[in-house]
Structure 1
Amino acid sequence: MLEKALKKKVSSTFSNKPVYSILFIIGTCHLLNDSLQAVIPAMFPILEQSLGLTFTQLGLIAFTLNMVSSVMQPLVGMYTDKHPIPYALPIGLTSSMFGMLGLALAPNFWMILISVVFIGLGSAVFHPEGSRVAYLAAGTKRGLAQSIYQVGGNSGQALAPVITALVLVPLGQFGAIWFTLIAALAVFFLMHIAKWYAARVKEFSRSKGAQKAVKPNKNMSRAIKSALIVLIFLVFSRSWYQAAISNFYAFYAIDNYDLTIAKSQVYIFTFLAMGAVGTFLGGPLADRFGKRTVILFSLIASAPLALLLPHVGPVLAIILLAVIGVILMSSFSVTVVYAQELVPGKIGTMSGLIVGLAFGMGAIGSVALGTLIDFIGLTPTMIMISLLPLLGFLTYLLPTDEKIREWYA
């Protein structure tokens, strides 16, 4: 039935209407892909106890996963902008499947690092190509389409605490073996997506070929480069804060609120799950109020709540994490669409740059924050990272949505 529905979509002409069936399927695949990545930070408390790893080593595991993904994503995007490879999607998830198998069986720190390299490579291929599928299926609703796609990924990341509490705590490291089945399911869906993608690329290329490209002048090029630099700082602030909460707040909750590993995961799940809600809401809000406006709001509005978080009790902390998650992550998909419209014609490159940058910044943040925790402790580190959302004021330096439309009119 799924294949029949996809064939029907392939036969349709290039349209400005969103192809929701494709968007929901690629969003589901994004959920499956990122749930595989979520297993790794979810295993941190387990690995700390079973293998005696330090916070620095845990940070290096996160660094390896995210850095491989972040370095490769823009490279994959640049290549596939010129030479689309629809079947790269299932191939990438096959790499992740082998990585999950290795992770479940790894006897030491170094084998874990090798396993996460395979998972990182799979993610590097999936994200820019998955974003391109969302773009091709978006019609005129680019913010909504990217939100549907990205909310799948954020939902997959939000599963990390659930994975810890329901799978890894009772089964230990070997429990990760079950996620090879998740990877296999993703490969199955992506084989069908690849067929639709291949036909859609041909239609999109013909449509694009009929349009006259607008070449930026010198002033425009300078403004675009400046805007991309500002975006890098904004992604930095969001990614480092997210890395601190996702990877290390469980330890903070255990130490400060006297919780078990399983109960501490409620805090992480709350932040990530509400972050997924924010990711979905951000796209439609950006379609209505503007992408720059949503990016600005997501950081500035979350800043006072982040500053308050390290100084409250366990109940209020959950509430604050929920609100911060919704607000902060509302700009995740919006930032990608903003970059794609800032540099039109470079869909994969911009997606790989922004999403890959988020992974890369999170990777560097994981190592830096893990080392900082080893030196100065959890509480001082959590207080320091609460300042990061204040960098959101840099958003005022970005050109408005109207200005970008004027450039390419």
Structure 2
Amino acid sequence: MTEAITTAASVRAVQTTSGWRRMRMWAAAHAVDDLYQGLVPACVPYFVLDRGYSYVAASGLTLAAALGSSVPQPFIGLVVDRRPVRWMAGAGVALAGLGLGASGLVPSYAAVWILVLISGLGVAMFHPAAGKAAREAAGDSAGAMSIFAAGGSVGFFLAPVLATPLLVSLGVGATALFIPPALITALVLLRHRPAAVTSAKATRSGTDRWNPFLVLTGVEVVRSVVFFGVLTFIELYWIRHLHAGKAVAGTALACFLIGGVTGTLLGGRIADRHGMVRTVQFGSALAVPMLLGLRLAPGPYAPLLFAVLAGIALNIPFAVLIKLGQDYLPTRPGTAAGVTLGLAVSVGGLIAPALGAAAEAYGPQGVFAILCAIPVAALVLGLFLTDPEQP
């Protein structure tokens, strides 16, 4: 009897170690994949400054990335749930890097737009497969799932940190330097693809609950609009409205994204202690005062604190929404991940041209005034969320 208990404990320990190893791999891959999403808004100010693009044209690049990553997401999620397409995550990372990396090398706006669209398609291919595999490794822990989600936040953070000095010194052609990480990551994922998905855990039992999932999707859409709005215009806000230099503007974007990483990890821990629905509601409520502080704080340096706090608030619900969506759709984890990680997130990019038009009319400061009010919609929708049924 004792030997049996010891053996069972040893098996569970091995499985836990293996699960965390896979989680770290998927978190790292998520960081690389979302690096290319983060590079789009990081590059936008330099397309404006170096090539003279208008605000609307620049936000059109964000639209291209969003279209590529949003429209195919539901269909890719369905494929991931029905077929063992273990190559898709690796191929997606490669395509995301190649498209974005080549965008700074072509002269015409149309060619840049198409390449950014292709990069978005690569992101769409990655998220459902990776989200499904990460959930299998995370089990029922929101904290563990937050590690995978934080990988994406790290990728967004690294984008301006790595891109800004290269773009300042070399111009937009420096995007080509970001092709190798995608190809290396793709090779790693393709090499380890048999261990990425375990058939025994591929299908979860339970009843899909579409009504709360649609409410959750609405919350994620609102969060995405605000997040991508800040991401796209924060540097231009510092440069054009606060009259700061490019270095301070890049610091502002980095502060916002550091807050995003912190908020993602913090949200998972809060959810494990206080529940997922409460965590989503808390993050939505906290976003409003933090954005107001960002918009109203004077000078180029005081708003940096609120850039961090706004990033924390907006990302507290991020990992929780991914896990909660998969709990609402237990038999369709790939579809749920495709919507919460891809479609709903990318809608923020689809709204970018409207925000670009607002920037043309009222300046970047007008955009931030609009963004202060939008999280109220997420707070209202969050009141209709319910705790998922336990299997």
Give the distance between the partners of 2:174 and 2:135, measured in 1 at CA: 36
Partner of 1:328: 314
Q: 1:365 aligns with which of 340, 346, 351?
A: 351
Q: Match for 1:294: what amino acid?
A: T
> Could you tell me whether the CA contact under 8 Å between 2:213 and 2:329 is conserved in 1?
no
Q: 1:89 to 1:229 in 2, by over 3 A?
A: closer
Q: 1:334 to 1:164 in 2, by over 3 A?
A: same
1:383 partnered with 2:369: yes
1:37-95 CA deviation, whole Å, 9 max, x = no partner? 22221111211122211111111110111121011122111111011211112222222
Give the distance between the partners of 2:241 and 2:201, measured in 1 at CA: 54
Partner of 2:339: 353
Q: Structure 1 residue 305: deviation in Å? A: 2.1
Q: Match for 2:263: what amino acid?
A: G
Aligned ranges 1:158-307 → 2 under 5 Å: 158-198=157-197, 200=198, 202-205=199-202, 208=203, 213-215=205-207, 224-307=209-292
Give the distance between the partners of 2:277 and 2:98, measured in 1 at CA: 40
TM-score normalised by length of structure 2: 0.91
Q: Structure 1 residue 117: deviation in Å? A: 2.0
> Could you tell me whether the CA contact under 8 Å between 2:74 and 2:339 is conserved in 1?
yes
Give the distance between the partners of 2:354 and 2:291, measured in 1 at CA: 19
Q: Structure 1 residue 367: deviation in Å? A: 1.3
1:217-236 CA deviation, whole Å, 9 max, x = no partner? xxxxxxx3432332233122
1:393 partnered with 2:390: no
Q: Match for 1:306: what amino acid?
A: L
Q: Match for 1:278: what amino acid?
A: G
Q: Structure 1 residue 340: deviation in Å? A: 0.7
> Could you tell me whether the CA contact under 8 Å between 1:230 and 1:398 is conserved in 2?
yes
Q: Structure 1 residue 331: deviation in Å? A: 0.6
SS of residue paired to 1:137 = helix
1:157-211 CA deviation, whole Å, 9 max, x = no partner? 112321343211111111111111111121122123312125x1x2325xx5xx8
> Could you tell me whether the CA contact under 8 Å between 1:300 and 1:393 is conserved in 2?
no
> Could you tell me whether the CA contact under 8 Å between 2:131 and 2:334 is conserved in 1?
yes
> Could you tell me whether the CA contact under 8 Å between 1:16 and 1:140 is conserved in 2?
no
1:88-112 CA deviation, whole Å, 9 max, x = no partner? 1222222223313421311111111
Identical-pair percentage = 25
User: Which consecutive residues of structure 1, in runs of 5 or more, have no partner in the other structure?
Assistant: 1-10, 217-223
Partner of 2:21: 21
1:106-143 CA deviation, whole Å, 9 max, x = no partner? 111111111112211110011111111101111332x1
Q: Structure 1 residue 288: deviation in Å? A: 2.0
Q: Structure 1 residue 14: deviation in Å? A: 9.8
Aligned ranges 1:66-85 → 2 under 5 Å: 66-85=66-85
> Could you tell me whether the CA contact under 8 Å between 1:69 and 1:124 is conserved in 2?
yes
Q: Structure 1 residue 319: deviation in Å? A: 0.8
Deviates more, 1:352-361 or 1:131-140: 352-361
